[in-house]
A and B are shown apart, each in its own frame.
Chain A
């Protein structure tokens, strides 16, 4: 019975947000709370010769000043170990809470000033005197591995974190490329992006000496993971005495997954000073220190036979991981990237070769899509470029290369050349629908007509696939993950039949309080109002791995289903007793257990009451109706879809106007279409942002020249048309809800569609390729050289 699943139920969380009643971390004030300001390195690379904190310490209102020497042994860890090709362990230098000896990127924490007010803290921070000796810096991934490049970490040769290879043996791939009738080759940069959640990171730590317990309020996507990392790997705190609370969070996009130095520092310092401490990032600090995304330098070649069938894909990239290894940084260019190189094509031979490097820049980690947008851009940009080069239709070229449809139930999953096995897919269907939506034949006619009038219209495609529902623990463990990637759920049926669901996933915009309640209510056959969804507090939720990688519903939702199954199963025992029937004669539906073929039944609320008032009760059965579950997925999920962008290029200025954006996505089953559409819209906007507007830039000295909203182009309302969306449904065969995940699809698919559309608009002018972002100047230059 589906009263709620598949319906666009309005979000219950909105009531607090539209009235200003949300509780974001910075909204919280504690009695006696102090404020912390950081002194940050103004240099990309500098020796710290001395730090004089005397003037700062004696400034009115200052409670304490800390430097790296005070907390020198604490450092935040990387959560994923990737080994060199030769088996050596990756290079993992310490990442101290406050810089020790050297500062390695602009904005690195050098000292922390804690005071009664923010005014005092900021004023005193200006009085900390740091004697730096500036050193040469390197900011580019490719430059970093050249002989003679400055070493970010003195003992790590060539600034190399690791090298990595996945796919078929390189000689086989080389031979296939060499014998291809056409090879498309691109050299490009997938530029660095700043995530820009609109809520800046914020942490409040409160150490309570009377009970020797810590509470950390934090704007994180995964409170339990923060607690685990901080307790086990950073500060050595007793985990049972640390409570991490993540209430409302104003967007994450990956940047709030990681355990940051500032987070551990306020927690540690709160005990040192015996008072609560708040630190909220300002926007400048966010640009300098929120983990960035992307930043690859790539050479990619795709071979084709005379009919346009792909023969091989060969890729070499340098991935810039910044000065230190952020929590999941190492997974991004490897297992979240190389493993997607199959795309949705039958490419028989693939070799992906990656070198990960340290540079004097802010750490880079997963940003919406995490490795997958980069691979999708690579493949899909190759496809449209190849079509232009071979004078083939880009849509047709895809059709002859698509993996044929398979449902993963009657037909087996598709084994890729790069380790993954796709669960189910029907790639052609989404493209066909998208072509219909854009009215492709008509577009080509319009395009031809408009060219005659001097207008430059273009169309670009992207038929993407991604790997979500992260992830089977044993699989990721064998690949180096230092955590399991299951999810937990605890469902507590209250005596009156009201249901509290505690989930380890976390909502920071995704609407779990609504969509989870929808499927829980349907599964139990009760009204949605009787279901409450609770997340974001380690004292309430037993455990959790959090929300990222479009995993919440596929993994977290499945864990809830497991608990619900246990509740229905136990309820059946109670019902059978009350109905004086055999358990196997009962069926559950519409909120009651009924004896099959009779009108005898007992309602959910009667069973729950009986479970807690067990007077007339099955012998030997425990009272209560309350179950925890852990769900560890058996595979990733593989959403896919077709995106089409239509652009017009101003031939005088090079400015690109996005006229239309069409997305037909297949994210498996859908619980709340309104929310899924919203995820696609937001994702598309971020992907378009990468294609046309955004980019973090460092100058040759490692100074960030895009460190404010005056310099970093954020997508705005007038940069977009309304998006045109539709979807196909190919259920996921391996999780109970049949869902695949929708959080990243928009971002992963959209970027190449836009870049390809620009190329389609101007390639007849002899333009070969343009680096992202496709700024007006770059487009103008390409048209005029």
Chain B
């Protein structure tokens, strides 16, 4: 297999990447870890004219903290996120989600920014990003902005990112008490259903992925939760148009969403 012809350009800084994006417009795609993009290009499902490699931009590879947040560079690999003690201590659910993505080798290459920008409806991170109320910091030719997780995921492979923008950071509110549990699709090991639950001052927040065309915040569960996980989890798919496919019908997927919501809520301490 081999992709259709394209131009390869390596960016060594965010500003260089943004200049290149502006120059090449819609014909260009950003390459971070490449584990979604490159297979799609080989299968010729995706044929960009130019590929801008942002995989070696050092400024995107840091994990740091401020008082209330973790600041995770978009270029951090899943392995970095999964094994970072900062993340494990302050955003356990995020570390769990990262460690459940793909496999060892994929986690060594794939990046959090790449995964979020790709917005696969069965990706693991979005459930946690939504549940924690994280912000996605993006930069573009018109400057820098922080997008609320709730506004970021817009549909299947669709986000609030503009064509000339790239994700640079993810700001994740600290929360000691969180969990991410998933039911894996047996072939791809993507989430048939993934549930992130975070305990906070106001109660719980719950994010679900894999269930419909984009991850969502299960606010009906959050509202119903009063310590009874089972009762609250019954609301996991309220108002959601649940997907069905070869591996899980809509009915079964709805059931799994409830089971994993209950399990996640029970796993909170």
Contacts and interface: CB of A to CB of B under 8 A. Distances in A.
Interface of A: 118-119, 122-123, 126, 282, 284, 652-653, 655, 693, 697, 705-706, 709-714, 775-777, 780-781
A187 B249 CA distance: 23
16 contacts: A119-B5, A122-B2, A284-B1, A284-B43, A652-B259, A653-B256, A693-B186, A709-B187, A711-B187, A712-B187, A713-B186, A713-B187, A714-B187, A776-B252, A780-B252, A781-B252
Interface in B92-128: none
Interface in B1-55: 1-2, 4-5, 43-44
A118 to B, nearest CB: 6
A712 B246 CA distance: 10
B38 to A, nearest CB: 14
B186 A775 contact: yes
B199 interface: no
Interface string B224-261: 00000000000000000000001111001001100100
Contacts of A713: 186-187
Contacts of A711: 187-188, 246
Contact of B248 (A118, A119, A705, A777): A777
A780 B255 contact: yes
The list of the 5 closest CB pairs from A to B, nearest first, reads A713-B186, A713-B187, A710-B188, A777-B252, A282-B1
B231 to A, nearest CB: 16
Contacts of A775: 186, 247
Which label, helix, strand, loop or mixed, suits the secondary structure of the A interface? loop
B221 to A, nearest CB: 17
Nearest to B192: A776
B259 A653 contact: yes
Contacts of B44: 126
Given A284-B1, A712-B187, A776-B183, 13 more contacts: A119-B5, A122-B1, A126-B44, A652-B259, A655-B183, A693-B186, A705-B246, A706-B246, A709-B187, A711-B246, A776-B252, A777-B247, A780-B255
A653 B183 contact: yes
A123 B186 contact: no
A123, A713, A777, most chain B CB atoms within 10 A = A777
Contacts of A655: 183
A775 B187 CA distance: 12
A777 B249 contact: yes
A123 B4 contact: yes
B149 to A, nearest CB: 26
B183 A119 contact: no
Contacts of A122: 1-2
Contacts of B249: 777
B49 to A, nearest CB: 14
A700 to B, nearest CB: 13
A777 B255 CA distance: 10
B124 to A, nearest CB: 15
B186, B248, B259, most chain A CB atoms within 10 A = B186
A549 to B, nearest CB: 30
A284 B1 CA distance: 10
Nearest to B4: A123
Nearest to A37: B2
Contact of B2 (A118, A652, A653, A710): A118
A335 to B, nearest CB: 34
Contact of A123 (B5, B183, B255, B256): B5
A340 B188 CA distance: 36
Contacts of A706: 187, 246
B43, B248, B252, most chain A CB atoms within 10 A = B252
A19 to B, nearest CB: 21
Contacts of B183: 653, 655, 776
Contacts of A776: 183, 252
A80 to B, nearest CB: 33
A653 B259 CA distance: 8
A122 B5 CA distance: 11
A706 B186 CA distance: 12
B141 to A, nearest CB: 33
A115 to B, nearest CB: 12
A281 to B, nearest CB: 10
A763 to B, nearest CB: 21
B153 to A, nearest CB: 21
Contact of A119 (B2, B188, B247): B2
B5 A697 contact: no
B82 to A, nearest CB: 17
Contacts of B186: 693, 713, 775
B259 A709 contact: no
Contacts of B43: 284
Contacts of A126: 4, 44
A55 to B, nearest CB: 15
A137 B256 CA distance: 35
A761 to B, nearest CB: 18
Contacts of A119: 2, 5
Contacts of A780: 252, 255
A261 B103 CA distance: 36
B135 to A, nearest CB: 31
A416 B175 CA distance: 70
A710 B120 CA distance: 13
A661 B5 CA distance: 49
A775 B2 CA distance: 34
A286 to B, nearest CB: 11
A655 B185 CA distance: 11
A378 to B, nearest CB: 25
Contacts of A710: 187-188, 190
Contacts of A781: 252
A728 B94 CA distance: 52
A736 to B, nearest CB: 45
A781 B249 CA distance: 11
A713 B4 CA distance: 28
Contacts of B1: 122, 282, 284
Contacts of B256: 653
Contact of B188 (A693, A697, A709): A709
Nearest to A778: B252
Contacts of B248: 777
B42 to A, nearest CB: 8
Nearest to B260: A653
B240 to A, nearest CB: 19
A766 B151 CA distance: 47
Contacts of A284: 1, 43
B154 to A, nearest CB: 23
Nearest to A710: B188
A118 B4 CA distance: 11
Contacts of B188: 709-711
A31 to B, nearest CB: 21
A602 B259 CA distance: 78
B166 to A, nearest CB: 26
Interface string B61-99: 000000000000000000000000000000000000000
Nearest to A712: B187
A122 B2 CA distance: 7
A685 to B, nearest CB: 14
A657 to B, nearest CB: 13
Contacts of B190: 710
Nearest to B246: A705
A693 to B, nearest CB: 6
A123 B42 CA distance: 11
A652 B193 CA distance: 14
Nearest to A706: B246
B99 to A, nearest CB: 14
B120 to A, nearest CB: 11
B267 to A, nearest CB: 14
A232 to B, nearest CB: 34
A113 to B, nearest CB: 13
